[in-house]
Structure 1
Amino acid sequence: MAERAASADPGEVSSTPSTSSGGALPRLEGRTVVVSGASSGIGAAAARRFAAAGATVVPLGRDPQRTGALAAELGVEPVLADFTRLDDVRRAASEVLERCERIDVLANNAGGTFPQRTTTVDGHEKTFQVNHLATFLLTALLRERLEATPGARVITTSSRANSFGRVDLDDLDSTAGAYRSFKVYGTTKLENVLFTRELSRRIGGTATASCFHPGVVGTAFGADSPLFRVLYSPPLSRVLTITAEEGAAPLLALATRPDPETVDGAYLDRFAPGRPNRQADDVALARGLWERSAAMVGVPA
């Protein structure tokens, strides 16, 4: 069951010097980029860079004020969606499809971590829904438009924390045993890798899919978690974290590299080939996660 899932040889992965060093992006006029989690942090930083390079950017975020302010700065209209509500995701996808005749890049960047087990209005554990299930649904609803756009890319923000996760297809909502927030978070980041690899197999030849660890970014991420609040606040943050702009650099590199096929299905640790959890190589598990997720959100598998 541990068949290698990525279509590219990780040894072939190389960085894109201009984006990895924070230099100018190639010109992106005529390209459309949809960025989820655009209210702040990596998403906002990436959206600004894409727009500065000439792309049409669709910022999708939860916070009306911050997402609206970013959209106004970029001269576009925001798309609002709270990923704890799947109906919000469905409405947001409809707005994107009405607005965008093409989608060149879908940056699945929304995510979070929460200290206690909370159930969403849709009946799912909150971290699982926000980090995986809502992203799965958004991508599924935009998939036809992505596949109709030559060279389209789906790029998902994962985390090195995936190495601490464990996916159990019979307990995706983490109802068994004690709730450990960091393990649940790591599991959802592993699900991002499995999702990317299964998506790569399913859309192979029409679009590419990659995921990455951005580094430990000093943003408001994890503000609800005591552990993350300590790590992401001074004085530790000054030693342990990088800026949102630095964290966005791997996303920008994946979105603009000239050879996306070499990272199709791959997990990168920033710019280099990453070593994900062993479960990431389980093709049957990736397929099972896809099928269970599709049933949960009511889309064809």
Structure 2
Amino acid sequence: MTTPRTIVLTGASSGIGRKAAVALASGGATVAVVGRNPERTRAVADAVGGVAHVADFDRLDNVRRLADTLLDAHARIDVLANNAGGLVSRREVTADGFERTLQSNHLAPFLLTRLLLPRLIESGGRVVSTSSTANLLGHVRLDDLNWKKRAWVGGWRAYGTSKLLTNMFVSQLAARTSVAAFAFHPGFVSTGFGGDSASMRMVNLLTHGNYGISADAGAVPLIQLAGPTTIGVPSGTYFDQLKPFGRQAPQAKNVQLAEAVWERSSELVGLGSEI
């Protein structure tokens, strides 16, 4: 009897995460459903026959507790899908002292991945991270990861930078470990994304909610990359929806900077840089 694949899916309580959880579970996988909202997370877990794990990525102690729980619960982890995160319209600082976009979109998934990495390596596992074409708006400054020295501009450049950091993290996972690691842009998906953003509210108003692609369509790359099939491109590849080698900001190809980002991110979450 084949052992079901175990997939840890963050941001699974709504949007493309919820769609992917349902599809992956229907394909026979055991899905650990991770979300911030307790009611929605438990509802999705119930629907897919999985276990709900409630965690707030604005708190790194939640991430550490989540990792401990997952390691206790699963002898193997075949896929970690880092799908949680979002856009915030005003600059805010978390309880850990980091700008919220940096923490929820980069530092929290960085920490979770690092803590689960030994189990992923043992399992011959894969890491899949939700990125965005907004990475083209990003610019990494190691002296200003917390976005204190630059204009906020509705949070879009900070968001784009966090997705650029996602791509750089994936490239470093590919370079430093044996896990297969991929990032992808799901498309411009019509969900609750950026609900507190004035620009997103305007888009919603002007289009009467009829903008972008559906959550079902946006979930397709996540389902494919987290599924059992061989990807067929090098680890570290960034996909624009289902197309490999999507457009990235020039800094994404700066290996020296990506290495420095790894070192700095490890320091910020209290880990050594070595695997």
Range class of TM-score, shorter chain: over 0.9
Deviations 1:61-118 (A, max 9, x none): 0000100111111222201110000000011111111111111111000011111110
Higher alpha-carbon deviation: 177-186 or 109-118: 177-186
CA contact (8 A) 1:42 1:248 kept: yes
- CA–CA distance in structure 2, aligned partners of residues 235 and 119 of structure 1: 32
- Map Cα deviations across residues 141-195 of structure 1 (whole Å, 9 max, x no partner): 0000000002x11000000000011000111111103222111110001001001
110-119 or 224-233, larger mean C-alpha shift: 224-233
Query: What letter is aligned with 1:166?
Result: H
SS at match of 1:250: helix
SS of the equivalent of 1:78 reads strand
SS of corresponding position for 1:70 = helix
1:154 aligns to what SS in structure 2?
strand
- Identity over the aligned pairs, expressed in percent? 46
Q: Determine whether 1:128 maps to 2:102.
A: yes
Counterpart among 156, 163, 166 of residue 192 in structure 1: 166
SS at match of 1:97: helix
2:68 match: 94
Structure-1 separation of matches of 2:23 and 2:30: 11
1:73 is the counterpart of 2:43: no
CA contact (8 A) 2:31 2:51 kept: no
Conserved 8 A contact 1:157-1:211: yes
Contact 2:173 2:179 in 1 (8 A): no
Name the amino acid aligned to 2:257. L
| Aligned residue in 1 for 2:150 | 177
Supply the distance in 2 between the matched residues of 1:163 and 1:232 (Cα, whole angstroms).
Answer: 23
Kept in 2, the 8 Å contact 1:29–1:53? The answer is no
- CA 1:179/1:249 → structure 2, altered by over 3 Å: closer, same or farther? same
- Among residues 82, 87, 98, which one is paired with 1:108 in the alignment? 82
Q: Do 2:57 and 2:63's aligned partners in 1 also have CA atoms closer than 8 Å? A: yes
TM-score under structure 2 length normalisation? 0.95
- Provide the C-alpha distance between the structure 1 equivalents of 2:4 and 2:12, rounded to a whole number of angstroms: 21
| In structure 2, C-alpha distance between the alignment counterparts of 1:259 and 1:101, rounded to whole Å | 22
> How many pairs align?
270
Instruction: Answer with 286-295 or 229-238: which moved more.
Output: 229-238
Unaligned runs of 5+ in 1: 1-27
So what's the TM-score if we normalise by structure 1? 0.87
CA-atom RMSD, angstroms?
1.4
1:23 equivalent in structure 2: none
Partner of 1:241: 212
Gaps of 5+ in 2: none
In structure 2, relative to structure 1, the CA distance for the partners of 1:233 and 1:133 (3 Å cut) is: farther
Per-residue deviation, 1:254: 1.4
C-alpha distance in 2 between matches for 1:258 and 1:158: 21
Q: Which of 65, 69, 92 is residue 118 of structure 1 equivalent to?
A: 92
Q: Structure 1 stretches (4+) deviating beyond 6 angstroms?
A: none
Q: CA deviation at 1:29?
A: 5.5
Greater relative CO (CA pairs within 8 A, separation 6+) = 1
- Which one of 138, 153, 172 corresponds to residue 165 of structure 1? 138
The 3-state SS of whatever aligns with 2:142 is coil
Distance 2:143 2:170 in 1: 20
